[in-house]
Amino acid sequence: MNDIPVTKSSATEPLRLHIPPHRSIPGKRPDFSYFRLPPAGETRRPVIDVPSVETHPLATALIRVLDEADEAVGDWDPHLDPEPLRGGLRAMMLTRAYDRRMYNAQRTGKTSFYMTSLGEEAVAVAQAMALNSDDMLFTSYRQQGLLIARGYPILDMMCQIYSNSRDPLKGRQLPVMYSSRDYSFYSISGNLGTQFPQSVGWAMASAYSGDTRIAAGWIGEGATAEPDFHHALTFAAVYRAPVVLNVVNNQWAISSHQEVAGGEEATFAARAIGFGLACLRVDGNDFLAVYAATKWAAERARANHGATLIELFTYRAGSHSTSDDPTRYRPEDEPRTWPLGDPVDRLARHLIHRGEWSDDRHKSQEQELTELVRATDREAQTYGTLGEGGHFGVETMFEDVYKEMPWHLRRQLRQALGDK
Amino acid sequence: MSTMSMVQALNSAMDVMLARDPKVLIFGEDVGFYGGVFRVTDGLQKKHGERRVFDAPIAEGGMLAAAVGMGAYGLRPIVEIQFADYIYPATDQLISEAARIRYRSAGEFAAPITVRAPCGGGIFGGQTHSQSVEAIFTHVCGLKTVMPSNPYDAKGLLISAIEDDDPVVFFEPKRLYNGPFDGHPDRPATPWSQHKASEVPEGYYTVPLGQAAIVRPGNAVTVLAYGTMVHVSLAAAEEAQVDAEVIDLRTLLPLDIEAIVASVKKTGRCVIAHEATRTCGYGAELSALVQEECFYHLEAPIVRVTGFDTPYPHALEWAYFPGPKRVADGIRQALAD
C-alpha cells in the first residue's frame, strides 16, 4: 500500500524557459540598470587572516577607493606614494599605446590577429604592482599590461605579434599568446580557462616545495562557465593553495553579455562562497582599489591563509578581437558612458588632484609613449612580419614537440625539407 | 630479485622514485590513505608521507591541470586516473595543454607528467570500466603512450616514464594486475609467481621507452600486440601450432619501427592484435606503417584482430573480447594465401 498522498501540481500556467535578455541593443540607449554603484569608501577592509566566511558579504559589495572628486577614501586606500602611481599610470598608457599600434598593424595586414585591453589596463597593471615580480602569472589573453608593467620588452612582444625571426616563440603561437619564463609569465593558451586551475597546481607545487612565491590566475567572466573554473576553486580550497584567482568581468564575452555566463542572479565573486574561499569584488577601473584588493589577497596567500577569488568589475571598451564588430551587438556609445569611467583618466585625475600630475605632463607622456611604440615597431618590422616574411626556418616546426625528436618526426622533417 | 605481481611492480617503481627524487609526488582518487582501488599505491602514503602521496577530488580535468601547473614549477607529478574510461574529462588539459606546452613556449616550459590509468576489459567492468583508449592519445603529438604486459616491464617502463621530460600516458591492463591472462576466462587464473617476468629487481632499473620486445621468436608470421593481447597472442600461436614471432610493442609512441620492420621482412606476414575497437584503432596505424615499410616483403594482406566497434558489453564480455581463437583464426588467415 502506498499511503503517501500524491500531490498534483496546482500550477495552471505551462513552464517557461528563461533566456537571459540581450539588453544592449545597437541604436538604443545603453542600459546599466542591472548593477548598483555603491559610493567609494563604503566597503570595510577585513584583516588578512579572517576566516573566509567573513569576506563573503564582500561578494555583493564593490570595493572603490577613488570618489567622484578624485580623492582616495576609505579603508581600502593603499596610501601609495605618487612615484609608484606615476609608474602605474605610465605602464597603463604604454599598454594603451602599444595596443593601438598593434591593432592598426593587424588592420594594415602586418599580422593575422590582435586583441586590445582598452579600458582594462588597471586590472593588469595595478595587479602586477601588487604582486612580487617573481610570483607566477597564469593569464588569459587580455592581461598584456602585466608583462608591460613587469618591464618585459615591448620589442619582444611585437616580434611575437609579427611571428617574425625574433619572435621568442618562433612563430608558433597566435598573436598575443605570450610566454616568458624569465618574467614568471606562463604561456597563454587559446583554450579558454585552462590556465586557471594550472595556477592552482603551480601554487600547490610552490607550497609543496616550501617556496615563498605565490601564483595568480586570470579568467574572463565568460569562461567561468568552463569546468576549469570549478576545478580551480575546488583544488584551491581543498589544498589551501597560495594563489590569487581573478575573474575579469568586463561584461562581454564576444557578443554574449555576462548574464549568459550566469551573472544575472549572482555575482562572480559569490562563486567563492560555496567553496569556502575568501572573495573580494572590486571596481576594476579604480587603480587604487585593484591594487589594494590584490595586495590583500597576495598577503593572505603568502601567509598560508589560502586563496582569494577576486571579481574585477570592469568594461571591455574595445572589440573582443580584430575579428568582431561590437556595433553589431551593443550601442556604439556604451563604452563611453560606462558608469565606472576609464582607468587611465581616473588615475590621472587623482594624481592631478594631489598636485602630482598635470594635463601637460599627461599629454607629453602620451606623445612620448606613442613615439616610443612607433620607433620600437619600426625596429620590430625589420625582423619581419607575418605578411611579408622573415620567419623561423621550416626545420623549427619539428623542434620542441618532444624534448628529443623521435624517428617519425625526423623523417617528416626530411620530407618537409624536400629530401627523400 | 623478488617475485612481484604487476601491482607490486608498479608500486615498487613509484616507491623507488619517491625515494630517489623529491620532485616526484603522486595524487589521484583514493590513492592516499586507501592505496588505490587496485592497491597500486598501497602503503606509499604511510611510507613517504601525505605531502608526497595524497587523495584528489573527483575531477580528472582538475588533476591534470594541477599536474600541468606543478610541471611548470619543476615537479614530476604522477596522476592516477582510476579507470582509463574516466580520462575523457582530462583530455583538454592533456591534449591541448600538457602535450603542447613545450612547443608553444618554444621550450621554456615542459610538462614532465606521468598519467597512469588501468585499461582494458576481462573483469566484467561493462562499458565504463573496460575501455582501451590508447589510440586517442597516440594520435596526439607531444604525448608518449606506453602499455606494459608484465611486472618486469611495468616497473622499468614506469620509472622511465616518471623520468621522462615529456608527458607520458601509461596504461596498465587491469586484467594483468594479478596474473597473466591468455584469454581463456573458463580456465583457473594463474598468479604472476609462475611467470618468468615476475622476477623483478627491488631497486632502480629502467626499461627504455620506444623499444619493443620479441616475446616469442618465429619465422612464419609476425604478430604485433601489446598489453593483455601479448598473452592472448602467445596462446593463439601455441593453439594454432604456428611458428609465429610475437612482438610486444611495450611503447606505442614512440614506436619501435625497426623491430617491426625487421620481423615482417623476415616472416612476410603480419597480424595485428588489440583489444580496443577496430576503426581508427592503433592497429590501423600499425597496418599502414607495415604496408609502407614492408610492402614488397608481404606475402599476404595484413590481418587485424581487434575488439568490435561496439561499446564494451557487460554480459557478452567474452563474445566481445578478441580471445585466442580469434587471434588464431587471424594467424591462419595471414598464412592462407
> Quick one: pLDDT at residue A420?
54
Read off the C-alpha cell for A178: 605570450
Q: What angle do CA B306, B307, B313 make, to 5 degrees?
A: 170
Using CB atoms and an 8 Å cut-off, which of residues 284-303 of chain A contact chain B?
none
| Secondary structure in 3-state letters for chain B | CEECCHHHHHHHHHHHHHHHCCCEEEEECCCCCCCCCCCCCCCHHHHHCCCCEEECCCCHHHHHHHHHHHHHHCCEEEEECCCHHHCHHHHHHHHHHHCCHHHHCCCCCCCCCEEEEEECCCCCCHHHCCCCCHHHHHCCCCCEEECCCCHHHHHHHHHHHHHCCCCEEEEEEHHHCCCCCCCCCCCCCCCHHHCHHHEECCCCCCCCCCCCEEEECCCCEEEEECCHHHHHHHHHHHHHCCCEEEEECCEEECCCHHHHHHHHHHHCCEEEEEEEECCCCHHHHHHHHHHHHHHHHCCCCCEEEEECCCCCCCCCHHHHCCCHHHHHHHHHHHHHC
Question: With an 8 Å Cβ cutoff, is A144 touching chain B?
Answer: no
- Judged by DSSP in three states, A282 sits in strand
d(CA B321, CA B1): 34
In a domain, B206, yes or no: no
- Judged by DSSP in three states, A217 sits in strand
> Can you give the CATH number for the domain in which B175 is found?
3.40.50.970
- What residue numbers bound the domain in which A410 lies? 393-420
- Residue B78, pLDDT > 80, answer yes
pLDDT band at B65 (very low <50, low <70, confident <90, very high): very high
Verify whether the Cβ–Cβ distance B73 to A206 is below 8 Å: yes
Read off the C-alpha cell for A323: 575579428
Verify whether the Cβ–Cβ distance A194 to B165 is below 8 Å: no
Q: At what angle do helices A359-382 and A82-107 cross, to 10 degrees?
A: 50
Looking at the structure, do residues A201 and A98 belong to the same domain, yes or no? Answer: yes
Domain end position, chosen among B200, B222, B257: B200
d(CA B239, CA A292): 76
Question: How many contacts (CB atoms, under 8 Å) link A and B?
Answer: 139
Instruction: Give me the sign of the Cα torsion angle A391, A397, A399, A401.
Output: positive
CB of A330 closer than 8 Å to CB of A26: yes
Domain end position, chosen among B168, B200, B232: B200
Using CB atoms and an 8 Å cut-off, which of residues 250-279 of chain B contact chain A?
253-255, 257
Looking at the structure, do residues A223 and A268 belong to the same domain, yes or no? Answer: yes
Which CA distances in Å does B322 have to B236, B272, B302? Answer: 11, 11, 17
> Quick one: pLDDT at residue A2?
57
Question: With an 8 Å Cβ cutoff, is B107 touching chain A?
Answer: yes
| Nearest-neighbour CA in chain B from A150: distance (Å) | 18
Verify whether the Cβ–Cβ distance A187 to B166 is below 8 Å: no
DSSP β-ladder status, B251-253 and B144-146: antiparallel
Looking at the structure, do residues A411 and A273 belong to the same domain, yes or no? Answer: no
Looking at the structure, do residues A311 and A397 belong to the same domain, yes or no? Answer: no
Read off the C-alpha cell for A69: 572628486
Question: With an 8 Å Cβ cutoff, is B59 touching chain A?
Answer: yes
pLDDT band at B147 (very low <50, low <70, confident <90, very high): very high
pLDDT per residue as tens digits for the range A355-389: 999 999 999 999 999 999 999 999 999 999 998 98
Question: With an 8 Å Cβ cutoff, is A177 touching chain B?
Answer: yes
Looking at the structure, do residues B183 and B268 belong to the same domain, yes or no? Answer: no
Q: Which of A138, A187, A196 sits opposite B104 (nearest CB)?
A: A187
In a domain, B205, yes or no: no
In a domain, B208, yes or no: no
> Quick one: pLDDT at residue A416?
96
**List of chain A residues whose C-beta atoms are within 8 Å of the C-beta of residue B94:** none
Verify whether the Cβ–Cβ distance A168 to B106 is below 8 Å: yes
Question: Number of folded domains in chain B?
Answer: 2
Question: With an 8 Å Cβ cutoff, is A235 touching chain B?
Answer: yes
> Quick one: pLDDT at residue B337?
72
Catalytic option among B129, B184, B274, B297: B129
Question: Is-catalytic flag, B129?
Answer: yes
Looking at the structure, do residues B6 and B133 belong to the same domain, yes or no? Answer: yes
Other beta carbons less than 10 A from residue A5's beta carbon? 5
The residue of B53, B63, B68, B209 whose CB has the most chain A CBs within 10 angstroms, and thus the best one to mutate to test that interface, is B68
Looking at the structure, do residues A266 and A410 belong to the same domain, yes or no? Answer: no
**Mean pLDDT, residues B17-33:** 98
In a domain, A36, yes or no: no
> Quick one: pLDDT at residue A7?
66
> Can you give the CATH number for the domain in which B271 is found?
3.40.50.920
**List of chain B residues whose C-beta atoms are within 8 Å of the C-beta of residue A169:** 104-106
CB of B293 closer than 8 Å to CB of B324: no
Question: With an 8 Å Cβ cutoff, is A420 touching chain B?
Answer: no
In a domain, B207, yes or no: no
- What residue numbers bound the domain in which B42 lies? 2-200
d(CA A416, CA A397): 10
> Quick one: pLDDT at residue A35?
79
Verify whether the Cβ–Cβ distance B73 to A136 is below 8 Å: yes
Verify whether the Cβ–Cβ distance A235 to B210 is below 8 Å: no
Question: With an 8 Å Cβ cutoff, is A136 touching chain B?
Answer: yes
> Quick one: pLDDT at residue B256?
98
> Can you give the CATH number for the domain in which A348 is found?
3.40.50.970
The residue of B50, B86, B104, B251 whose CB has the most chain A CBs within 10 angstroms, and thus the best one to mutate to test that interface, is B104
Looking at the structure, do residues A337 and A410 belong to the same domain, yes or no? Answer: no
pLDDT per residue as tens digits for the range B268-320: 999 999 999 999 999 999 999 999 999 999 999 999 999 999 999 999 999 99
Read off the C-alpha cell for A78: 593603499
Looking at the structure, do residues B281 and B159 belong to the same domain, yes or no? Answer: no
Question: With an 8 Å Cβ cutoff, is B154 touching chain A?
Answer: no
In a domain, A30, yes or no: no
Looking at the structure, do residues B171 and B269 belong to the same domain, yes or no? Answer: no
Looking at the structure, do residues A236 and A309 belong to the same domain, yes or no? Answer: yes
| Secondary structure in 3-state letters for A284-336 | CCCHHHHHHHHHHHHHHHHCCCCCEEEEEECCCCCCCCCCCCHHHCCCCCHHH
- In which residue ranges of chain A is pLDDT below 50? none
| B144: nearest CA partner in chain A | A402
| Nearest-neighbour CA in chain B from A406: distance (Å) | 6
- Judged by DSSP in three states, A89 sits in helix
Looking at the structure, do residues A308 and A224 belong to the same domain, yes or no? Answer: yes
Length of chain A in terms of residues written: 420
Other beta carbons less than 10 A from residue B194's beta carbon? 10
Cell 580496443 found at: B276
Verify whether the Cβ–Cβ distance A227 to B89 is below 8 Å: yes
Question: Number of folded domains in chain A?
Answer: 2
Largest CA distance in chain B: 60
Cα A246 from chain centre: 8
In a domain, A12, yes or no: no
CB of B12 closer than 8 Å to CB of B4: yes
Looking at the structure, do residues A344 and A366 belong to the same domain, yes or no? Answer: yes
